[in-house]
Amino acid sequence: AICVPASCTADDVKYSLMSKLMPALETNGIIGNLTILGRYTYSKVDPPIKLPAGYHLFLLFTVGLIIAVVLVTLYDLWHGDCITVDRRKWYFKFSMVKNMETLIKPERSEEFRAISGMKVLSLFLIILGHRMIFSMFSPLVNQRENELVVGDLIHTYKTNGPVVVNTFFVITGFLTYYKIVKDIDKQRPVNVYKLVIRRWIRFVPTYAFVMGFLVYIAPQMDSGPIGRGVLWKSSCNQYWWTNILFINNYIYPNKHCLIPSWYMASDLQLYALCSILGYALYKSRKAGLLLLGVVGILSIIIPGIVVYHERYNAVPLMYLRVLNIIQIIENY
Q: What is the pLDDT of residues 94-149, one digit of tens each?
A: 889 888 888 887 777 777 778 888 888 888 888 887 777 666 666 666 667 766 77
Mean pLDDT over the full length of the chain: 79
Distance in angstroms (rounded) separating the CA atoms of residues 163 and 126: 9
Q: What is the pTM of this model?
A: 0.76
CB contact at 8 A, 306 and 312: yes
Q: What is the pLDDT of residues 9-58, one digit of tens each?
A: 778 888 888 888 888 888 878 777 777 766 667 776 666 667 888 889 99
pLDDT of residue 231: 46
pLDDT band at 190 (very low <50, low <70, confident <90, very high): confident
pLDDT of residue 232: 46
The amino acid sitting at 321 is R
pLDDT of residue 80: 62
In this model, does residue 320 exceed pLDDT 70?
no
232 vs 239, more confident: 239
Distance in angstroms (rounded) separating the CA atoms of residues 37 and 111: 55
In this model, does residue 223 exceed pLDDT 70?
no
326 vs 253, more confident: 253
Distance in angstroms (rounded) separating the CA atoms of residues 102 and 276: 29
pLDDT of residue 328: 45
315 vs 58, more confident: 58
pLDDT of residue 267: 92
CB contact at 8 A, 56 and 45: no
In this model, does residue 226 exceed pLDDT 90?
no
Q: What is the pLDDT of residues 240-257, one digit of tens each?
A: 899 999 999 888 888 777
pLDDT of residue 239: 85
DSSP 191: -
**What Cα–Cα distance (Å) separates residue 171 from each residue in 188, 227, 262, 317?**
23, 36, 18, 26
pLDDT of residue 327: 46
pLDDT band at 332 (very low <50, low <70, confident <90, very high): very low
pLDDT of residue 294: 93
Distance in angstroms (rounded) separating the CA atoms of residues 103 and 255: 33
Distance in angstroms (rounded) separating the CA atoms of residues 211 and 234: 12
Q: If you average pLDDT over residues 191-200, what whole number do you get?
A: 90
Lowest mean pLDDT segment, chosen from 87-101, 144-158, 269-283: 144-158
Distance in angstroms (rounded) separating the CA atoms of residues 211 and 236: 7
234 vs 88, more confident: 88
Task: Tell me what percent of the residues of the chain surpass a pLDDT of 90.
Answer: 17
Distance in angstroms (rounded) separating the CA atoms of residues 139 and 26: 22
pLDDT of residue 39: 63
Q: What is the dihedral of CA 193, 194, 199, 200, to 10 degrees?
A: 70
Distance in angstroms (rounded) separating the CA atoms of residues 243 and 265: 7
Distance in angstroms (rounded) separating the CA atoms of residues 270 and 178: 15
pLDDT of residue 48: 66
In this model, does residue 277 exceed pLDDT 80?
yes
Q: If you average pLDDT over residues 169-174, what whole number do you get?
A: 89
243 vs 222, more confident: 243
